[in-house]
Amino acid sequence: MAGFGKRGQGIPQGLGSPRDLPPQKITTSNWGPSAAPGMMPADGDGISRLFSKELFAGERGEFLRSMGFSPDAPGNIAQTADTFATMDARYREALEGFVDRTDRVLGDGLGVRPLFLVPETVWQGEYRNFLCATCRLYPADPSNVFFLAGTLQTAKTLGLPLQAKMSPQEAHEFAVQIIGVLGDMFKKANAREKAGVAYEGARGLGTIMTVKLFDPPQYEPEQKLFGPLLDRDFDKLLPQNP
C-alpha cells in the first residue's frame, strides 16, 4: 500500500488485531447508524463491548484471556457514538499527560505544544465516521500528533518549529484530499484487505501531513526527540535527551 504507513506489524491476528476488524460503511452522516451498529449496552466506563468487562472476571475471564481476548481489544469495542466520545477523551487525556511529563523533563522554561496533523476540523465533516468507525483513528492518536515548540526559547534550544508552514484551512483541505484517496483505496480493496487498508492507511496520514506541513530541518529535530510517528505510545514515551 504505497504512500501510507504500517503500524503494529507485530500484533497477532485475530479479534485483538485492528487489521482484522470488520470495517464499517463509509457514510457522509456524522453519527449515523451505519457507522454505529446496534450493540450491547455500554459498560460503566461508557464503552460498549462485544464481551462486557464483567465477563472478564474470575475463571470465565481467565478463559477469554487465554483465547486472546481482552476487554479493550479493538475487536471487542463496539463502534457507537458514545464509544467514539469515550475513546476520543482517552486519547486526549493520554496526550495531555504526556505533554505535562515532557515539560517537566525538559525543564528550564522549555515546553512543547501538540498539533494535530490531520486537523481536528476534518472529524467535524463527512469523513468523521470513516475515520472513527472504519479506521479507528481519533485526533489525539499518537500517529497524528506533531510537537511544536511551546516558546521561542524552546524553538532556539531544541530546533522545534513554532508553527506549520501551511494555514489551518490549507492543512484541512489537503488532509481531506488524501483521506479521499484512502477512502478510494478502501472501497477498491477486497474483503480481506479492507480492514488493513483502513487501519494502516489512516496511521500513515500523519507522515504524509508531516512532510507537507514542515520542511526536513523542522520535522527532523521533532522525530529525533520523540521518535517516529508510528512507534509512539504516550503512556510509555519520554523525550530523548536533546
Q: Write out the chain's pLDDT in tens, 242 residues.
A: 334 444 433 332 333 333 333 333 333 333 333 333 444 566 777 676 777 888 888 888 888 888 877 877 766 766 667 777 888 888 999 999 999 999 999 988 899 999 999 999 999 888 888 898 888 899 999 999 999 999 999 999 999 999 999 999 999 999 999 999 999 998 898 888 888 888 899 999 999 999 999 999 999 999 999 999 988 888 776 665 55
Q: Which SS3 state, helix, strand or coil, does residue 147 take?
A: strand
- The 3-class SS string of 197-228 reads HHHHHHCCHHHHHHHHHCCHHHHHHHHHHHCC
Report angle CA 6, 76, 194 to the nearest 5 degrees: 40
Grid cell 506533531 is found at 146
Task: Compute the distance between CA of residue 46 and CA of residue 48 in angstroms, rounded to an integer.
Answer: 7
C-alpha cell at 15: 479479534
pTM of this structure: 0.72
